[in-house]
Amino acid sequence: MIKPSVNKVVLAYSGGLDTSIIVPWLKENYGCEVVCFTANVGQVDELDGLEEKALASGASQFIIHDMREEFAEEYLFPVLRAGAKYERKYLLGTSTARPVIAKHQVEIAHEVGADAVAHGATGKGNDQVRFELTYTALDPRLKVIAPWREWDIRSREDAIDYANERNIRVTATTKSIYSRDRNLWHLSHEGGPLEDPWLEPNESMYLLSTSPESAPDKAEYVEITFESGTPVAVNGEKMSPAKLVECLNAIGGTYGIGRADMVEGRLVGMKSHGVYETPGGTILMAAHSELESLVRMLNQRSGAALDWAKVPQSS
């Protein structure tokens, strides 16, 4: 494979195993300057120490954008209003985040004068398509580098070895090797023991939700206010889109709401075993569905009343 000439690349950087080793790999294989871009879409403590880590791995610059409100208002809530679910279970947490990340990544490429963008999505998943379609739609002139489709690393164990050889600090280990993606909407778990769909996920894997057995015995009432199909308040308190989702995540997680364990089909034709935690999103989807039922009922009554009014009345 003939590599294109690249001067500067903007990498979608999470600080996880894959993107941590991509920084030195890009420098070694493309001889280019690497700018690390992190999108704050609600990863919480995963953002701690990222700048220091990115620069230590060889990046020339680290940029972070807080996109939580944009992500909730312009991406998550449209998904909610559409009632969108994948294969009747997955509430599209990772899927929805990728386009907004790629959008900002292209904008940064323009700002810093980069001629390429890169991502850490594997060559067997859906994220590569989400990133690259957005890049192409916004600026087809940018070169796209997808290391997982080029390098000789074939497993997360290989990636850990690569990181250790270059003294790059990573949190993944061969004992705790889940591939996770967290944002405001959800937390996903893949890989490791989940590669065997026969195995039940270990309770210690879950980070956002408690088990139903450990949930409080006393029920809690939650009132959600909608305006034109968009949630605006919880229990009478108005909140920004991101704060509202965070609030419902805390409530739902306490009661073990929002867990989905599924074997799903990928765009490339493979199957994948994933476990998702979406506490707030699950509450919102349920509430929005009930709202739709009420609106349909009212529309039916109004329609029946109009039809009755059109019937000639005998004296």
Q: Dihedral angle at the C-alpha atoms of 247, 250, 252, 255, nearest 10 degrees?
A: -150
Q: Which of 157, 177, 197 is the last residue of a domain?
A: 177
Tokens of residue 202, six digits: 């270990």
Q: Which of 159, 177, 195 is the last residue of a domain?
A: 177
**What CATH number corresponds to the domain at position 107?**
3.40.50.620
Q: DSSP letters along 219-267, please?
A: -----EEEETTEEEEETTEE--HHHHHHHHHHHHHHTT--EEEEEEE-T
pLDDT at residue 315 greater than cutoff 50: no
Tokens of residue 273, six digits: 């075993």
The helix-helix angle for 156-165 and 17-30 (nearest 10°) equals 60
Q: DSSP letters along 44-91, please?
A: GGGGTTHHHHHHHTT-SEEEEEE-HHHHIIIIIHHHHHHT--BTTTB-
Buried b (16+ CB within 10 A) or exposed e, 38-49: bbbbbbeebbee
Are 164 and 194 in a shared domain?
A: no
Residue 138 backbone dihedrals phi, psi, to 5 degrees:
-90, -35
The residue written with tokens 């989905």 in the block is: 260
132-136, 154-158, 233-237, 288-292, range with the lowest pLDDT: 154-158
Name residue 37's amino acid: F
Q: Which long-range contacts (CB under 8 A, 24 or more apart) does 80-83 make?
A: 80/230, 80/231, 80/281, 80/284, 80/285, 80/288, 81/229, 81/230, 81/288, 83/285, 83/288, 83/289, 83/292
Beta strands 230-234 and 224-227 are antiparallel
Q: What would the mean pLDDT of 69-75 be, rounded to a whole number?
A: 98
Are 50 and 188 in a shared domain?
A: no
Q: Which residue has the higher pLDDT, 170 or 110?
A: 110
Q: What is the pLDDT of residues 27-49, one digit of tens each?
A: 999 999 999 999 999 998 789 89
**What CATH number corresponds to the domain at position 236?**
3.90.1260.10
Closest CA to 282 of 90, 50, 105: 90
Closest CA to 116 of 11, 27, 21, 29: 11
Distance, CA of 215 to CA of 192 (rounded, Å): 27
Distance, CA of 134 to CA of 124 (rounded, Å): 18
Domain range enclosing 107: 8-85+97-177
Q: Which residue has the higher pLDDT, 296 or 264?
A: 264
Are 19 and 57 in a shared domain?
A: yes
Q: Write down the pLDDT at residue 175.
A: 57
Q: How many CA atoms lie within 13 A of 250 on its CB side?
A: 6
Q: Which residue has the higher pLDDT, 307 or 189?
A: 189
DSSP state of 186: -
Closest CA to 14 of 204, 241, 172: 172
Are 268 and 131 in a shared domain?
A: no
Distance, CA of 140 to CA of 159 (rounded, Å): 30
Q: Write down the pLDDT at residue 192.
A: 83
User: In sequence order, what are the residues at sequence separation of 6 or more whose Cβ sits closer than 8 angstroms to the Cβ of residue 56?
Assistant: 168, 169
Closest CA to 239 of 278, 291, 184, 289: 184
Q: Which of 143, 177, 211 is the last residue of a domain?
A: 177
Active site residues: 18, 98, 127, 179
Are 157 and 235 in a shared domain?
A: no
Are 57 and 188 in a shared domain?
A: no
User: In sequence order, what are the residues at sequence separation of 6 or more whose Cβ sits closer than 8 angstroms to the Cβ of residue 31?
Assistant: none
The structure's pTM equals 0.90
Confidence of residue 226 (pLDDT cuts 50, 70, 90): very high
- The tally of domains found in the chain comes to 2
pLDDT at residue 228 greater than cutoff 70: yes
Are 25 and 142 in a shared domain?
A: yes
